Amino acid sequence: MNSVANKLLSPILLIAGAAMVIISLIMDFAGSGSSLRGPMLVIGILVFFAGLYLFPTQKHHRKIVYVIFLFPLLFTFAVTVIIPLVLGICYSFTDWTGIRFNSVVGLTNYMTMFKDPAFIWSILITFIFVVLNMVLINLVGFLLALLCTSGIKGGGFFRASYFLPNLIGGIVLGYIWQFVFNNVIIDMTDNISWLARSKTALFAIVVVYIWQYAGYIMLIYITGLTQIPGDVLEAAKIDGANPAQTLFKVKIPMIASTITICTFLTLTSAFKQFDVNMALTNGAGSVANFMGNYLSNGTQMLALNIYNTAISKNNYALGQAKAVFFFIILAVVSLIQVRVSNKKEVEL
Amino acid sequence: MKKKVFAIMLAAATVCATLSACAGTAAPAAPAADASTEAAAPAETPEGGIRLVNNKVEVDEGLKKLAKAYEEKTGVPVVIESLGGGIDTQATLKGYYQADNMPDIFVFEGDIHYPTWEGLLADLSDEAWVNDTEAEYVRDGKVYGFPTTTEAIGLAYNADILAKAGVDPKSITGPESMRKAFETIDAKKDELGLTSVLGYYTESSQLWWSPGQHVFGTYFDSGLARDDTTYIDLFKDGGKLDMDRATPWSEMVALFNEYTDPAGVSGTYDAQVLGFASGKYAFVTQGSWIGATLMNDDKEAYDAAGHFEIGMIPYAFIEGQDTILTNSPNWWGVYKDGNVEEAKKFLAWCAADDGGQEILAKDCGFISPYASNTHAPDDPFAKTIAEYTAAGTTSSWHWLSMKAGIGQNATGVVFQDYAMGNFPDAKTFLDTLQQVCTNYYAN
């Protein structure tokens, strides 16, 4: 009885659902302003899945349930990540203006981008920034973690206050520090703000970024350090190891996996640096001679360069091409990260 | 059993989250008043009414008053949506276009933005107000933009200080007289209570637009007729500068560097205007828009400094240049697929003397570009601009046609570099500027 009803109901629901989805999509692409198309799409999808769920099969029932459960996430992932990514790559081969494109230009955008000394400069300083940050943030974070776990009085207070800058947004932080550099410590710097010269401005960004990010890395190191078994440390103490030996021979090897994690965290986040850069210098700064050119974007890192190309230079297609290049760099870094972390886990 | 219930609840929660994300566009938008300040949720066009996107948050209140007055008179609701405070208006508008949520009237900055909206702007050539102004945006013989206000670029001065120093602003007609005036004031700096003769700020991360576009812009137009496009045409051809004209201009920049406050290389707009308002600078390299700042934010300092009279002299880098640069800084365009008829009626009412002009002048501080207008804002620059306009000694703002983003991404920094003393002379500065512009056009 039940199965007969299902046999009838299932195809009806499937067809009705599919029809609703298709009609609403057609309405959307045809530019219909009807406010029904949204709810119709959603109801269509639900009806379709109801039909799928009731589909009279024993063999594939489990698989159908998996698909239904996966669908919301897959759908969201596709809408927010996959479709924009594919569209973005497509746009990078056109002369897209943010409104429309008139022609497909092939690799022109990619050629233009590597011919522009300003962009090469941005790549260069991004790499310098990443290396500097990776080393310094880990160093500072680790030292702060040692300090906070050393049993110092008020350790909890220090831990909280070092972490606090991480809770302030990068833009706000950037403007606060801009004020500091331009008004407070300007007397110490010959009345010319650190932010006015490219070299010192880059250094200023590094300082601010460490200030923001070291507390976060510190927390991860603290977790690592507190997870070292007490008996190992006790054994080292009994064997007469001094604090330096304990640190280098016991503690650091024991938290090797934490170090890997922190290294890659700082690496990827430094690559994507945008907000502090934007608020602090907005990319401005002079470079007297780079590849025979005078540059005006002395402190402009990759992410900001992409943003300014699209928004301020109003060249969306070129910005998109740069973003694709940026995506490739980040993808390579992330893949290496996964590889290395996997290896480390096996070793442990 | 328990597990199953939990799983269903989780699934339901996920579905709900997905649904609400999808339904977001269909849901009714937040009330317009919130949307304008928050700017996160775009406003929606009211039924049968119009929606206007404005990029000056400082006149948001005034425009809302204007909208209310219009609705009371005609019954057509007008929603004002003000984007600003770090938001790039044009980028947001592009998003609106992609999301099919275009306003009926939106702001754009002339030639830089026209290519983006080409084919999407309604032709306003037949409107009555076109005959009442010279500041409308014309492209290919058709009118696409409604001018809202007049802004002027000139060297603003503190009339009290000049009078005390015995300098007649009218005597400054060229580079020599400008230098002489600066020297005279500089000699009496201490007794006049000045920090420096001039507040010429070149900080390049936020204030790039002042040197990089406005001071630079005087090269294109100072002393020329409103329709003279000689130098901008040359510039648009690969960023070329005419050295015969640019050399004296660069010497004027050198003069500014000599007499400016060194704090200008890392100062903010606020500091610059406040310095002028409190009588620390005799001149300031900002235009008429600082009038609003003087009357509001810096009112206290301005009053304390004696509420001095303000005038403007031309950036005269060649003897005899007698014009200041006036223009509508941006225009309101009508979206051709929007409510064009109502939008046109609204604009007509705004331009008409018995309509919105009074509110635009009194509440927004707009200096009307319409000849028939009789309302003047309570602005210290209104008088000067009116005088120059009446005398016919105004030039246009052709720098608006420079390649998009050039001030921020290229020229601004060069001025700062020069102000910091990184170039030995004006010629090196000019050569560098030329190179930067050529590169900017090439890439």
B341-376 residue pLDDT tens = 999 999 999 988 777 888 888 888 888 888 888 888
pLDDT band of residue B30 (cuts 50, 70, 90) is: very low
Taking residues B311-338, what's their average pLDDT? 94
Position B288, amino acid: S
What is the distance in angstroms between the Cα of B289 and the nearest Cα belonging to chain A? 22
Confidence band (pLDDT; 50, 70, 90) for B85?
Answer: low
Considering only the beta carbons, identify the residue of A69, A99, A196 that sits closest to B97.
A99
Q: Domain check: are A280 and A158 in the same one?
A: yes
- Can you name the residues that pair with B311 across neighbouring β-strands? B157
What distance separates the 2 farthest-apart alpha carbons in chain B? 94
- Residue carrying structure tokens 């943003």: A307
Helices (H), B75-152: 89-98, 114-117
DSSP H stretches of helix in chain A: 2-29, 37-53, 61-77, 83-91, 108-115, 117-149, 155-163, 170-179, 198-226, 230-238, 243-245, 252-254, 256-271, 275-280, 302-310, 316-347
Whole-number pLDDT of residue A59: 82
Residue B275 has pLDDT above 80, yes or no: yes
Residues A92, A170 share a domain: no
CA distance A254 to chain B (A): 38
CB pair distance less than 8 Å for A195 and B205: yes
Identify residue B148 by its one-letter amino acid code.
T
- Same domain for A143 and A32: no
Distance, in Å, from the CA atom of B197 to the CA atom of B184, rounded to the nearest integer, reads: 10
Confidence of residue A85 (pLDDT cuts 50, 70, 90): very high
Q: Tell me the per-residue pLDDT of A307-325, one tens digit each, with 9 for 90 and over.
A: 999 988 889 999 999 999 9
CB contact under 8 A, A311 and B91: yes
> In terms of DSSP bridges, do strands B151-153 and B137-139 run parallel, antiparallel, or are they unpaired?
unpaired
Q: Residue B12 pLDDT more than 60?
A: no
CA distance A18 to A46: 10
Tokens found for residue B228:
């003279």
Architecture of the CATH domain B29-149+329-377: 3-Layer(aba) Sandwich (3.40)
A-chain CB neighbours of B3 within 8 Å are: none
CA atoms within 13 A on the CB side of B420: 24
Residues 74-93 of A with CB under 8 A from B: 75-76
Q: Of A108, A137, A159, at which residue does a domain stop? A: A108
**Candidates A296, A301, A316, partner chain B, best to mutate (most B CBs within 10 A):** A296
Predicted local distance difference test score (pLDDT) of residue A347: 53
Percent of chain A with pLDDT over 90: 52
Tell me how many residue pairs between chain A and chain B have CB atoms under 8 A apart: 132
Average per-residue pLDDT for chain A: 89
C-alpha span between B52 and A137 (Å, rounded): 47
- At B200-211, the pLDDT tens digits run 999 998 899 999
> A199 and A102: one domain?
no
The pLDDT value given to residue B98: 86
Q: Which of B4-18, B270-284, B293-307 has the highest mean pLDDT?
A: B270-284
Return d(Cα B177, Cα B281) in angstroms, integer.
Answer: 18
Integer Rg of chain A from CA: 28
Q: Which residues of B touch A24 (CB under 8 A)?
A: none
pLDDT above 70 covers what percent of chain B? 90
CA distance B361 to A206: 47
- Put simply, the answer to whether A31 touches B11 (Cβ < 8 Å) is no
Tell me whether residues B11 and A99 touch, CB distance under 8 A.
Answer: no
Question: Domain of A120?
Answer: 111-347
Tokens of B79: 């929603």
- Asked if residue B398 lies in contact with residue B220, where contact means CB atoms within 8 angstroms, the answer is yes
Q: State pLDDT tens for residues A35-64.
A: 788 888 889 999 998 888 888 877 888 888
**pLDDT at residue B17 greater than cutoff 90:** no
- A118 lies in the same domain as A92: no
Report pLDDT for B31. 33
Q: Which of A56-65, A240-249, B51-60, B74-83 is the least confident region?
A: A56-65
Residue A3's pLDDT is 65
B152-327+403-442 sits in which CATH class? alpha beta
Could you tell me if A245 lies within 8 Å of chain B, comparing CB atoms?
A: no
Q: Delimit the domains of chain B by residue range.
A: 29-149+329-377, 152-327+403-442
* B189: number of Cβ within 10 Å: 15
Give the residue from A74, A108, A142 where a domain finishes: A108
* Domains identified in chain A, total number: 2
Q: Closest partner residue to B417 among A186, A286, A315, by Cβ?
A: A286
CA A42 – CA A35 distance, rounded (Å)? 13
Give the pLDDT of residue A128.
94
Lowest mean per-residue pLDDT among A300-314, B32-46, B263-277: B32-46
Residue B11: what pLDDT?
Answer: 47
**pLDDT above 80 (res B114):** yes
Q: Where are the beta strands (DSSP E) in B176-275?
A: 196-199
- Check residue B34 and give its pLDDT: 35
Q: Mean pLDDT, to the nearest integer, of B324-350?
A: 93
Q: Is A34 an interface residue toward B (CB < 8 Å)?
A: no
Give B413 to chain A, closest Cα distance, Å: 6
Based on the fold, state whether residues A247 and A124 are members of the same structural domain: yes
Q: Which of A51, A79, A108 is the last residue of a domain?
A: A108
Per cent of chain A over pLDDT 70 is 97
**In chain B, what residues touch A182 (CB-CB under 8 Å)?**
203, 266-268
Under 8 Å CB-to-CB from B396, ≥6 apart: which residues? B221, B226, B227, B228, B325, B326, B327
- Determine contact, residues A266/A191, Cβ cutoff 8 Å: no
Residue A163 pLDDT more than 90?
Answer: yes
Which residues does chain B have within 8 Å of residue A117's beta carbon, measured at their own beta carbons? Answer: 439
Between B110 and B250, residue with greater pLDDT: B250
Q: What residue type is assigned to position A89 of the chain? A: I
Query: Does residue A210 have a pLDDT over 90?
Result: yes
Whether A42 and chain B come into contact, CB under 8 Å, resolves to: yes
Written as six digits, the tokens of B161 are 């200080």
pLDDT, residue A33, reads 66
Q: How far apart are CA B34 and CA B174, in angstroms?
A: 51
Here the tokens at position A221 are: 């190191």
Note whether B29-149+329-377 and B152-327+403-442 share their fold: yes
CA distance A47 to A296: 58
Q: Which of residues 286-345 of A touch B (CB under 8 A)?
A: 286, 288, 293-294, 296-298, 308, 310-316
For chain B, the 3-state helix, strand and coil shares in percent, each to the nearest 5, are 50, 15, 35
Percent of chain B with pLDDT over 90: 65
A100 and A189 co-located in one domain: no
Reading the block at residue B136, the tokens are 């409308």
**Could you write out the DSSP letters of every residue in B261-273?**
-GGGGS--HHHHH
Token pair of A165 as six digits: 């800058």
CA distance B203 to B303: 27
Closest-CA residue to B82 (of B110, B108, B63, B109) = B63
pLDDT at A2: 61
At which residue do the structure tokens 């754009």 appear?
Answer: B108
pLDDT of the residue at B356: 85
Contact B26 A38 (CB under 8 A): yes
Q: Please state which of the ranges A133-137, A236-240, B352-356 shows the lowest mean pLDDT.
A: B352-356
Contact A192 B265 (CB under 8 A): yes
Please give the sequence-ordered ranges of beta strands (E in DSSP) within B112-228, or none if there are none: 137-139, 142-147, 151-153, 155-158, 196-199
Question: Reduced to 3 states, what is the DSSP secondary structure of residue A43?
Answer: helix
**Are A194 and A278 contained in the same domain?**
yes
Cα gap B268→B271, rounded to integer Å: 5
Query: How close is the nearest chain B Cα to the Cα of A329, in Å?
Result: 23
Chain A hits for B203, Cβ within 8 Å = 182, 196
Shortest Cα distance, chain A CAs vs residue B230, angstroms: 24
- Of A70-74, A235-239, B374-378, the poorest mean pLDDT is in B374-378
Q: Do A52 and A25 share a domain, yes or no?
A: yes
Of B22, B23, B88, the CB nearest to A311: B88
Six-digit token pair at B84? 């600003």
- The larger pLDDT score, comparing residue B49 to residue B433, is at B433
Nearest to B205 among A42, A197, A284 (CB): A284
The conformational region for residue B72 under phi > 0 = left, psi -120 to 50 = alpha, else beta, is alpha
pLDDT band at A208 (very low <50, low <70, confident <90, very high): very high
- A119 and A217, same structural domain? yes
CB B92 within 8 A of CB B116: no
Query: Chain B: residue nearest A277 by CA?
Result: B205
Which amino acid makes up residue A325? F
Query: If residue B429 lies in a helix (H) or strand (E), which one and from where to where?
Result: helix B426-442
**Mean pLDDT over residues A157-171, rounded?**
90
Verify whether the Cβ–Cβ distance B116 to A98 is below 8 Å.
yes
DSSP symbols for A149-185:
HTT-TTHHHHHHHHHGGGGS-HHHHHHHHHHIIIIIG
The residue among A266 and B12 whose pLDDT is bigger is A266
CA distances to A57, A257, B235 from A227, rounded to whole Å, are 51, 12, 66
pLDDT at A185: 84
Sheet containing strand B142-147, edge to edge, reads B78-82, B50-54, B105-108, B331-334, B142-147, B137-139
Q: Is there a contact between B22 and A42 if contact means CB atoms under 8 Å apart?
A: yes
Q: Are strands B196-199 and B281-284 parallel, antiparallel or unpaired?
A: parallel
Q: Is the separation of the CB atoms in A311 and B91 below 8 Å?
A: yes
Reported for A2-11, long-range contacts at CB under 8 A and 24+ positions apart, including other chains, are A3/A56, A6/A54, A6/A55, A6/A56, A7/A56, A9/A51, A9/A54, A10/A51, A10/A52, A10/A54, A10/A55, A10/A56, A11/A51
Does A31 contact chain B (CB < 8 Å)?
yes
Give me B309's structure tokens: 């009279």
Mean pLDDT on B146-173: 94
Quick one: how far is CA B188 from the chain centroid? 34
Q: Among positive and negative, which fits the CA dihedral A310, A315, A316, A321?
A: negative
A119 and A182 housed in the same domain: yes
Pairing of strands B50-54, B105-108: parallel
What is the ipTM for the molecules in this complex? 0.84
Q: Which of A216, A223, A186, A221 is nearest to A204 (CA)?
A: A186
Q: Do residues A18 and A61 both lie within one domain?
A: yes
Q: How confident is the model at residue B326 (pLDDT cuts 50, 70, 90)?
A: very high
Q: Is B358 helix (H, G, I), strand (E, B) or coil?
A: helix
